[in-house]
Amino acid sequence: MPHMPNLTFLPPAASPRRVLLSLFAVVLLLLASLGARAQSIDLYEGETPVEDQSEAARAAALPRALANVAIKLSGDPQAAQNAAIAASLGQAAQWMLDYRYREEARVENGVSLRTLSLIARFQPEPVDAWLRDSGLVLWSSPRPAITVWLGIDDGRGARLVAESQAQAVVALTRRAADRGIALLYPLLDIEDQSAIQVDQVWREDLTTLRTASERYGNRAVLAGRLQRNDNGWSASWLLLDAADAVQRWSDAGPDATALLARAGDAAVDAIAKRYARTALIGQPGRYAIAVSDIRSAPDFARLMAHLRSLALVRDIRVKGTRDGELQLELDLAAGLESLNAALAVSRQLQPLGAQDDAVPRYRWQP
């Protein structure tokens, strides 16, 4: 997210008109800084349907919620089939931190339905240990968010889905979130409209897709075509990661909601194959690194927040500065290979290699 603008206070002699214009400019900057953003994902929350809010229904649902957390944390859709995982799902109530319910109304095949879900949050430490002891690899954060360019034609003409319309495709968003991946939909403001059109998404114009996606800062891009036909709906999808076309697939069926949910699963499966299996490589321990281009206190604060967001960073010690570089010592749950793999997702810390002192160097790019 772009940093907040610096505010300059006007001297007392400033005219009311000048004050109003300056305040208006500040408001515009603040609104611009809010931009499109991916939803926040809690990797230790699991969601599952329940019949009601009774204690018995909650107790029966908690193991399913914990199983969903195992799937989310590992990136493996079959994680709950692991014998060691299945044997320990009874610990769900002991590890639960809190819970809440979500009630929603939806229309499926022309029928109005109401669903109730339990959302339970679990303690990270015992859950992490449980997964590792069961032989699963934890897919550490940050994870690559996916920018979605989805063109839909329901019989009234093709149009792209904007961030403000994302509720219409909540099945796609929620399925990806259930697997631990956030989706970001474009603003479709003037800048987007001048950069990309729905026909370019539908014909998978790779150059245009990459160029239009640059402003959103995500490596991964999902382009989709969802179209109503005489038999229901058809869909085609393309997943890009950086410069690579990772996967193409098609789907069809009577229910658009089901197609969207399956697309969420397929996209996360493809991303997980790239990132989840290399999540923890190398020897845990303390590692010295040096970071350049930390030019202000806000830069330092953002760097610290970024490093703390990485699941494999257990502790950070500031050792000082030398030759314009910030010297840090990181306590890592894995080796520097894992650190570099995690940093490659957000690209805010660019590796520069090491110099004569063998300390890995990075450049901060907020």
| 285-364 CATH fold | Alpha-Beta Plaits (3.30.70)
Answer whether residue 26 shows pLDDT above 60.
Answer: no
pLDDT value, residue 343: 84
Instruction: Scan for tokens 């107790």, then name that residue.
Output: 59
Q: Determine the average pLDDT of the residues in 198-207.
A: 96
Q: For 275-288, write each residue's pLDDT tens digit.
A: 776 556 678 899 99
Q: Which CATH architecture has domain 146-278?
A: Alpha-Beta Complex (3.90)
| Count of alpha carbons within 13 angstroms of residue 327, beta-carbon side | 9
- Identity of the amino acid at 294: I
Q: Where are the domains of the chain?
A: 45-133, 146-278, 285-364
CA dist 109 to 6, 121, 194, 257, Å?
Answer: 52, 32, 36, 9
Q: Residue 278 is which amino acid?
A: T
More confident of the two residues 355 and 54: 54
Where does the pLDDT of residue 39 fall: very low under 50, low under 70, confident under 90, or very high at 90 and above?
Answer: low
Contact 111, 252 (CB under 8 A): no
Q: Say what the pLDDT of residue 208 is.
A: 96
Q: Note the pLDDT of residue 36.
A: 59
The predicted pLDDT at position 118 comes to 98
How far is C-alpha 309 from the geometric centre of its chain's CA atoms?
Answer: 12
Query: Higher-confidence residue: 361 or 246?
Result: 361
